[in-house]
Amino acid sequence: MKDILDQVVRWTAGGRKVALATVVATERSAPRDPGATLAVTEDAEVLGSVSGGCVETAVIEEALEAMRSGTPRRVTYGISDEDGIAVGLSCGGTVHVFIHPVDPPAGEILARLANAADREEAAALVTAVTGTRPGTMMLVSSQATAGRLGDARLEQAATADARAMLEQAQTGARSYVLAGEREPAEVFIESFAPSPQMYVFGATTQADAVARIGKFLGYRVVVCDARAALATRDRLPSPDEIVVRWPDEFLAAARVDRRTAICVLTHDPKFDIPLLQVALATPAAYIGALGSRRTHEARVRKLVEAGVSEEQLSRIHAPIGLNIGARTPEEVAVAIAAEIVALRAGRLRGDAGLRSTAPAAKTASS
């Protein structure tokens, strides 16, 4: 919803009736992930998408009816009937969509969420899908909550899950069986976390291309190099920030969490060894290092001598990037981005899913 949130807030602040349709669950090859949202005004102005076009018309009609009746609804769209009359997904997947009018309390929650997003503050939006008050919303941060879901027990359980999911920037549905209730209460929790960090070390020929594709993937990209003559805006126009500092010193003080990507492009032992020692002590999701297999073998020997364990070494993706035969800086950047995406999707084999599957030299010579 993040990409349409500001406009939805403007609509509601201007007094327009709005309904939100959100994908709360998918099966098989659905075109959009949970959290994809379509907003519809009472005069049928539309923003966003829940299926990339497959079922939008039907969802819009449901949203208009939800505004007319004031009643939220959960609808499911799957494979079309053989006669082609029913609405369905040509991709063969199934999407479950929760549709609800945005009442004034929900509009206030969305406005608070937009303000938090503008300030780069982490917050989770909790929407009641079933229960006594479906469509109600609650905003959860690490320190506070706003809004009500209609049941204190549900609010307590959902708050705990929302905070845990927010730490991992996760989005998804949760169900709770409350004492005395026959049916489980379901909520949908959507995390709105600040952009994850990508740290690119080494103002090399590949650095700006990696910065460009990192920003395309949604990262806030910082390039760091100790060499002031190389770390300049003329050479590196794309990063959000350029830092002139010894890489290990910078990383030791930087914000690193489980979504952070660390790309070591320095290709120089005096930078690489101390930097990787610091990187391996962090919870970073991705740590990649430029160089051939021979270069990395020498690097590993030095790290072992420095006391780095085999388990820690298994976290390093080296040579950096998937084995796609990359040569140019842009191709190297694509290979690195592909490896990061594959890692996030759990498509890489090895310890904790962190090792590359590439069997040969990948992106750089020794």
- Per-residue pLDDT tens for 271-318? 999 999 999 999 999 999 999 899 999 999 999 999 999 999 999 999
Residues of the chain with CATH 3.40.50.720: 197-353
Stated as kind and residue range, the H or E segment containing 224 is: strand 220-225
Confidence of residue 89 (pLDDT cuts 50, 70, 90): low
pLDDT digits (tens, 9 = 90+) for 95-119: 899 999 999 999 999 999 999 999 8
Stated as kind and residue range, the H or E segment containing 241 is: strand 241-244
pLDDT digits (tens, 9 = 90+) for 194-247: 889 999 999 999 999 999 999 999 999 999 999 999 999 999 999 999 999 999
Stated as kind and residue range, the H or E segment containing 248 is: helix 247-253
Stated as kind and residue range, the H or E segment containing 22 is: strand 18-27
Q: Which two tokens stand for residue 162?
A: 């929302």
Q: What is the pLDDT of residue 80?
A: 53
User: In this structure, how many other beta carbons lie within 10 angstroms of the beta carbon of residue 338?
Assistant: 17
Class of domain 197-353 (CATH, top level): alpha beta
Task: Please name the amino acid found at residue 366.
Answer: S
In this prediction the pTM is 0.73
Q: CA 232 to CA 222: how far, in whole Å?
A: 12
- Read off the pLDDT of each residue in 173-180 and give the average, rounded to a whole number: 90
Q: What is the pLDDT of residue 55?
A: 87
Which stretches does DSSP call E strand in 53-93? Answer: 73-77
